[in-house]
Every structure is written in structure tokens, then in C-alpha cells.
Amino acid sequence: MDLRNLKNISLLIAYVLAVYIVFPNNAYGMHIMEGFLPFNWAAFWWIAMLPFVIAGVHSIKKTVTLHPSLKMLLGMAGAFAFVLSAMKIPSVTGSCSHPTGVGLGTILFGPTAMTVLGMIVLIFQALLLAHGGITTLGANTFSMGIVGPLVSYGIYKGCQKLGAPLWLSVFLSATLGDLMTYITTSFQLGLAFPAASGGVMASALKFMGIFAFTQLPLAISEGILTVLVINILSAYSQKELGFLGVFTGKELPTRKQGVKA
Amino acid sequence: MKPMAKNGILIVIVAVLAFAPLFLVRNGEFAGADDRAEKAISTIDANYKPWFKPLWEPPSGEVESILFALQAALGSGFVFYYLGYAKGKHSASKKDQA
């Protein structure tokens, strides 16, 4: 036990040192700012976003008509994304970024439902906080509300198929979905601003190095917080989670007191 | 271990992850994206000018911080309202069964 702890601590220190060496100065990691995507790219991401928003509205309508009692839980999933995107948390790169909080809703309601909720959060931040933007809403929704949730969903379903414990599936799903959101942002910036030498990939990798390192501890935090909420829900909202098929049939009757974490 | 104790441990881990960087990175500015991203983009394409300004910007850091605090408060208010509601419903239905 002590040996394992020691190993973990030394790994953590090695990680922090590596970050120091690679990124001695401040990095950044957040949504794309207003006006910072050329018009054509901004329009492209807006159009790319629309089918997912429509699918999301349908998916939400369907869930709510089938189970009106789930409205509260849906609101809670949206509120979770709302809180987490307001938290600008310091990271080891010496700058701040914020988690997305869409993993929880994805696990509960599926990926497209979170496209809609994520977009609402982004609109609020763009209009009232000048964080992100209306012209870049398409691109930001695409990364936070489409790619992130799709990745979360795929990982969650995959882990469940492989028979991973619920807490692990939830953790990996939320953490990697969060990371992929910012990797997508890097690609979006790379596509819009290809480097003079090396083109799109060089530029995307540059943005990605910065984003991924800043985001890593935050993504882990988001994963843990999502596990925490799922723990509480699985203790008190078993019925609702049952409607949504969050548990595989096997887990529902045996786990009464929450999930192992 | 009780679920609440587990959750307590999880919260401590999150708090450490969130605040440790403040002590680990002594000379960090911990600034956000906006002006820094502008610089990063201008190193790639020096001629790029943002073509659209935010419709409204919080006039000061203080105003911005209250809006962010409001966002977090509204969100967490609803999250915990729901969790309390779920817990109450759960224990009420348990009593019915007993």
C-alpha cells in the first residue's frame, strides 16, 4: 500500500515537472472568443451544429413525453453543466480553464440532449459574460455539445459492454469527453489558422499541447465530480436511472447503497 | 465505507486538484483565455483581425465576477435542490414500504 502511494506521488511529481519543462509560460484553454474564427469557418460550424441541435430537441421531447417525471433530472443535468462551466479552475500550466460538465447529462440522457443544454450554457456565457461568442457559438457547441458528449457516450457504452464497474465507466466517460472537447477546439483553431510551415496539423498540435495539459487535471476533477453525482443519484434516484437505462439490468437490484467509488 | 464518506474523499481529491496548482506554479499568472489566445493566433497569422465584437461586455472584472458567481450559484442551487428532493422522495417511499 505504501509502495503504491509512493509510486503514485512520484508519478504526479513527474507529471508536474514535465509540464513545467514543456510549458514554462502561461498557457490558456477555453472556448473560442467572439470574432476569432474567420467568417467562413464560423458559418461552417454553425451549419454543422444544426442537425445535432434538431436531433437533440427531438430526443429531449421524446424523453420528457415518455417520462414526465424526468424533467427535474434533465434540469439538474443542465444545471450541472452550468455550474461546472462557471468554474475557472487554476491548472498546472499556470493558467485557468473550466470543465464542461456535459458528461453527466450524456450518461443520463444521451449525447444529443446535451447538445441543446450545452448550447444554452454557451449562449448565456456569450451574451452576458463575453466568454466565447455568438459568431463562434457553432464551433464551441460543436466541441462542447457534440464531440464531447459523443465521445463520453461511446466510452460509457463501451465500458459497460466490457463489464467495467459503473464508477469507472462514468469517470472515464466524463474525463475523456472533457479532454476531447478541448482537443476539438484545438483542431478548430488549427483548421482556421494553419501554421505557415506544417499547416493545419502543426498548428492544431500547438494549440492541443497547450489545451490538453491545462485541461488534464480539470478533466480528472470533472470525472470525479460526475462519479460523485452518479453515486448520489444511484442511491436516491434509482427509479429515474432505471427509466433511462443507466444501470444494466444486473446492477439495479443488488446495488442499494450507491456505487463503489 | 459509507457512500457519504466516499463522496467526502472524492471532494477532497477535487479540491486538491483545483488548488494545488496555485502552490505548485509559483510564477503563474492564472489568467484566462482571452488576451493570451489573441497573441497565440497573431503569432500564426499576424494580419488576422477579429471581425466581430461581443455585443455586450461586463464593464469591469467585478461585474464579470458577480455574473460568474451568479451562474455557479444558480446552477448549484438547482443541482442541490434536486438532490435534496430525490433524497426526500426516497426516504418517504421507504417509510411507505415499512
Report d(CA A17, CA B75) in Å as an integer.
35
Beta bridge partners of A96: A90
Alpha-carbon distance values, A30 to A49, A98, A165, A178, A181 (Å): 19, 7, 31, 12, 10
pLDDT(A242) > 50? yes
In chain A, residues with a C-beta closer than 8 Å to the C-beta of B55 are: 127, 134
Residues A61-82: what's their mean pLDDT? Answer: 93
- Supply the pLDDT for residue A13: 60
CB distance A28 to A210 below 8 Å: yes
Domain that holds residue A196: 2-254
Helix (H) or strand (E) holding A176: helix A166-192
- The region that residue B55 occupies, defined by phi over 0 for left and psi between -120 and 50 for alpha, beta otherwise, is alpha
B89 touches chain A (CB under 8 A): yes
Percent of chain B that is helix, strand, coil (3-state, to 5): 70, 0, 30
CA atoms within 13 A on the CB side of A58: 6
Report d(CA A114, CA A61) in Å as an integer.
13
Any domain includes A34: yes
Residue with cell 464508477: A167
Q: Identify the band that residue A22 occupies on the pLDDT scale cut at 50, 70 and 90.
A: very low
pLDDT winner (highest mean) among A131-135, A217-221, A236-240, A253-257: A217-221
A69 touches chain B (CB under 8 A): no
Please name the residue ranges forming H helices in B25-50: 34-44
How far off is chain B from A50, nearest CA to CA, in Å?
21
Lowest model confidence (mean pLDDT) among A32-46, A202-216, A222-236: A202-216
Nearest Cα residue in chain A from B37: A28
Residues A34-48: what's their mean pLDDT? Answer: 92
Walking along chain B (98 residues) 10 residues at a time, the average pLDDT comes out as 82 91 77 59 76 80 86 93 92 85
How far off is chain B from A64, nearest CA to CA, in Å?
17
Lowest model confidence (mean pLDDT) among A161-165, A176-180, B92-96: B92-96
A231 touches chain B (CB under 8 A): yes
Beta bridge partners of A195: A199
Domain map (residue ranges) of chain B: 3-97
pLDDT(A254) > 50? no
Structure-model confidence comparison of residues B55 and A201, the more confident one: A201
Q: Round the average pLDDT of chain A to a whole number and report it.
A: 84
Q: Answer yes or no: do B51 and A39 touch at CB < 8 A.
A: yes
- C-alpha angle B4-B6-B11 in degrees, rounded to nearest 5: 90
Q: Identify the band that residue A72 occupies on the pLDDT scale cut at 50, 70 and 90.
A: very high
A239 burial (CB, 10 Å; 0-12 / 13-18 / 19+) is middle
Helix (H) or strand (E) holding A89: strand A89-90
Distance of CA A14 to the CA centre of its chain: 26
- Supply the pLDDT for residue A229: 94
CB distance B27 to A94 below 8 Å: yes
Lowest model confidence (mean pLDDT) among A22-36, A73-87, A224-238, B21-35: A22-36
- Supply the pLDDT for residue A53: 96
Q: Answer yes or no: do A89 and B7 touch at CB < 8 A.
A: no
Any domain includes A260: no
- Supply the pLDDT for residue A256: 43
Any domain includes A259: no
Among B68, B81, B96, pick the best mutation site for testing chain A contact (most A Cβ within 10 A): B68
Q: Identify the band that residue A228 occupies on the pLDDT scale cut at 50, 70 and 90.
A: very high
Q: Identity (one letter) of the amino acid at A111?
A: P
Residue A100's CATH number: 1.10.1760.20
Q: What is the pTM of this model?
A: 0.83
Q: What total number of domains does chain A contain?
A: 1
- Supply the pLDDT for residue A14: 64
Helix (H) or strand (E) holding A90: strand A89-90
Residues A132-138: what's their mean pLDDT? Answer: 91
pLDDT(A21) > 50? no
Sign of the C-alpha dihedral, residues A101, A104, A106, A110? negative
**Selection from A55, A54, A37 nearest residue A188 by Cα:** A37
Structure-model confidence comparison of residues A79 and B2, the more confident one: A79
In chain A, residues with a C-beta closer than 8 Å to the C-beta of B34 are: 33
Q: Answer yes or no: do A33 and B33 touch at CB < 8 A.
A: yes
Any domain includes A19: yes
A38 burial (CB, 10 Å; 0-12 / 13-18 / 19+) is middle
Q: Answer yes or no: do B33 and A193 touch at CB < 8 A.
A: no
B72 touches chain A (CB under 8 A): yes
Q: Identity (one letter) of the amino acid at A1?
A: M
Structure-model confidence comparison of residues A106 and A206, the more confident one: A106
Q: Answer yes or no: do B28 and A26 touch at CB < 8 A.
A: yes
- Supply the pLDDT for residue B1: 65
Q: Identify the band that residue A25 occupies on the pLDDT scale cut at 50, 70 and 90.
A: very low
Give the model confidence (pLDDT) of A94-126 as tens digits.
778 889 999 999 999 999 999 999 999 999 888
Please name the residue ranges forming H helices in A67-136: 71-86, 102-109, 111-129
A170-203 burial, b at 16+ Cβ within 10 Å, e below that, comes to bbbbbbbbbbbbbbbbbbbbbbbbbbeeeeeeeb
**Selection from A236, A213, A260, A242 nearest residue A97 by Cα:** A213
Structure-model confidence comparison of residues A194 and A148, the more confident one: A148
- Supply the pLDDT for residue A138: 95
- C-alpha angle A12-A14-A15 in degrees, rounded to nearest 5: 65
- Supply the pLDDT for residue A36: 84
